[in-house]
């Protein structure tokens, strides 16, 4: 696993700074971006240039670049995964294709968005290995395997963004954008679980695929702000009602199995 992580780390521009956390918000908060945000929604043609202007007034600090690059690497993997899945003949049944086309559209949009925000600070795109270094050899021929890996990637994405929210919180616009991507990943994860005959949420740290266990480690937590909610409506519901974050190390360990090193 260490070698896998190293490969992903190499894809990031500033790996040493990834663990740096912002302990508290900057005293001076960013502001005045809302008007630009409205323009973004109504002028898609100018998206890229406007986004750059809105988010990169002056160079972004490494404390924000690193979490965004972690997100970008995940989005690269997700985006490549769905492109490969949709291209694999006979893999996704026609009944479910609309779901994956929508998911794929969003992951591609997240890549474009994050690349635009990061500019020349963006991470290099890792070479994609859909089999997770052999853990899922039939992922592009067996639809059930494809669904399981899809769910794992989406739940990893949810946990990764959640874990980085505090690290980008000094910039209101980037925090809000990250939160908005985060909830889209959660919608994806829920819908893919629906396609697998589940409800949409994570119970305990349960997974029906052993190789995905690291993605759910710690999800059984029921204590938040020192309040244990396990006794409120039963332990299962208590674990489902709160999704848990993953730290950088854990995300890299998971993502590392789907990337085989950077393209220079």
Q: Interacting stretch for another protein, rule CB under 8 A, among 2-10, 118-126, 140-148, 172-180?
A: 172-180
59 binds another protein (CB under 8 A): no
- Least distance (Å) between residue 182 CB and another protein: 6
Question: Of 39, 86, 179, 209, which lies in the binding site for another protein, with binding defined by CB under 8 A?
Answer: 179
Query: Is the Cβ–Cβ distance between 248 and 70 less than 8 Å?
Result: yes
Nearer to another protein, 5 or 122 (CB): 122
- Least distance (Å) between residue 205 CB and another protein: 15
63 binds another protein (CB under 8 A): no
Candidates 102, 80, 79; CA nearest to 195 is: 102
Q: 3-state SS of the chain?
A: CHHHHHHHHHHCCCHHHCCCCCCCCCCCCCCCCHHHHHHHHHCHHHHHHHHHHHHCCCCCCHHHHHHHHHHHHHHHHHHHHHHHHHHCCCCCCHHHHHHHHHHHHHHHHHHHHHHHHHHHHCCCCEEECCCCCCCCCCCCCCHHHHHHHHHHHHHHHHHHHHHHHHHHCCCHHHHHHHHHHHHHHHHHHHHHHHHCCCCCCCCCCCCCCHHHHHHHCCCCCCEECCEECCCCCCHHHHHHCCCCCCCHHHHHHHHHCCEEEECC
The token duo for 258 is: 């789907």
115 binds another protein (CB under 8 A): no
76 binds another protein (CB under 8 A): no
Q: Interacting stretch for another protein, rule CB under 8 A, among 7-15, 52-60, 122-130, 157-165?
A: 157-165
- Least distance (Å) between residue 32 CB and another protein: 9
Q: Interacting stretch for another protein, rule CB under 8 A, among 118-126, 128-136, 205-213, 240-248?
A: 240-248
190 binds another protein (CB under 8 A): yes
Q: Interacting stretch for another protein, rule CB under 8 A, among 58-66, 122-130, 132-140, 222-230?
A: 222-230
The contacts of residue 84 (CB under 8 Å, 6+ apart) are 128, 130, 140
Question: Of 17, 119, 214, 245, which lies in the binding site for another protein, with binding defined by CB under 8 A?
Answer: 245
- Encoded one letter per residue, x for contact with another protein by CB under 8 A and - for no contact, window 14-43 reads --------xxxx--------x-----xx--
Chain residues binding another protein by CB under 8 A are: 22-25, 34, 40-41, 44, 47, 51, 95-96, 98-99, 101-103, 105-110, 112-113, 158, 161-162, 165-166, 169, 172, 175-177, 179-191, 194-195, 199-201, 224-225, 227, 229, 232-234, 237-238, 240-245
């Amino acid at each position: 696993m260490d070698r896998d992580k190293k490969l992903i780390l190499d894809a990031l521009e500033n790996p040493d700074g990834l663990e740096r956390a912002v302990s508290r918000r900057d005293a001076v908060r960013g502001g005045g971006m809302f008007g630009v945000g409205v323009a973004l929604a109504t002028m898609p043609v100018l998206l890229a240039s406007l986004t750059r202007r809105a988010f990169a007034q002056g160079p972004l600090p490494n404390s924000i670049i690193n979490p965004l690059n972690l997100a970008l690497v995940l989005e690269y993997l997700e985006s490549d995964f769905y492109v490969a899945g949709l291209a694999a003949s006979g893999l996704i049944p026609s009944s479910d294709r609309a779901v994956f086309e929508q998911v794929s559209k969003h992951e591609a949009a997240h890549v474009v968005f994050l690349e635009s925000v990061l500019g020349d600070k963006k991470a290099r795109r890792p070479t994609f290995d859909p089999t997770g270094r052999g853990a899922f050899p039939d992922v592009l021929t067996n639809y059930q395997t494809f669904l399981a890996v899809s769910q794992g990637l989406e739940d990893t994405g949810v946990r990764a963004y959640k874990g980085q929210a505090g690290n980008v919180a000094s910039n209101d616009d980037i925090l809000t954008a990250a939160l908005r991507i985060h909830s889209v990943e959660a919608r994806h994860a829920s819908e893919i679980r629906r396609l697998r005959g589940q409800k949409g949420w994570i119970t305990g740290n349960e997974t029906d695929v052993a190789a995905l266990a690291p993605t759910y480690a710690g999800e059984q937590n029921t204590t938040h702000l020192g309040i244990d909610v396990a006794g409120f409506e039963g332990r299962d519901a208590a674990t489902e009602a709160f999704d848990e974050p993953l730290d950088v190390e854990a995300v890299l360990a998971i993502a590392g199995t789907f990337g085989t090193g950077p393209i220079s």
